[in-house]
């Protein structure tokens, strides 16, 4: 996982679901604040795999169009084997399973 810019910050665009869930996060003012937000995200969403945090000028998000959220499968040579449609509705677990079956040694 790569944590990129906050999708629904209170100071830019607040999502109705965030209001209902009482999630109120402002855009971070610096990289350390973004790192702390990423940690909060991992804990609150119960994510149990490693995460990286995009640089404050968002080069990863710009290169891979990670917003809205997307899932990628990277093959053993470091190439993109699958880029999902925008999530969460574009996430197709069967596609990921099929891609992993195709690229991983048996």
User: How many C-beta neighbours within 10 Å does residue 16 have?
Assistant: 8
C-alpha distances out from residue 1 to 9, 10, 65, Å:
20, 23, 14
Q: What is the pLDDT of residue 68?
A: 67
3-state secondary structure at position 23? coil
Question: What residue ranges do the domains of the chain occupy?
Answer: 1-65, 68-106
- For 14-72, what is each residue's pLDDT tens digit? 777 777 877 778 889 999 999 998 998 888 888 888 889 999 898 988 888 766 677 88
Report residue 56 as tokens: 């404050």
> So what's the pLDDT on residue 59?
92
56 in Cβ contact with 63 (< 8 Å): no
Read off the pTM. 0.65
Give backbone dihedrals phi and psi of 64, rounded to 5 degrees, phi first. -115, 5
Residue keyed to tokens 């990129």: 4
């Amino acid at each position: 996982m790569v944590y990129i810019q906050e999708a629904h910050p209170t100071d830019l665009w607040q999502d109705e679901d965030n209001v209902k869930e009482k999630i109120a996060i402002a855009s971070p003012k610096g990289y350390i604040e973004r790192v702390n937000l990423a940690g909060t995200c991992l804990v609150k969403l119960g994510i149990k795999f490693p995460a990286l945090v995009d640089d404050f000028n968002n080069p990863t998000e710009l290169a891979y169009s990670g917003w809205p959220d997307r899932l990628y499968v990277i093959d053993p040579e470091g190439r993109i084997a699958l880029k999902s449609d925008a999530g969460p509705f574009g996430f197709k677990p069967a596609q990921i399973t099929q891609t992993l079956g195709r690229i991983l040694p048996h």
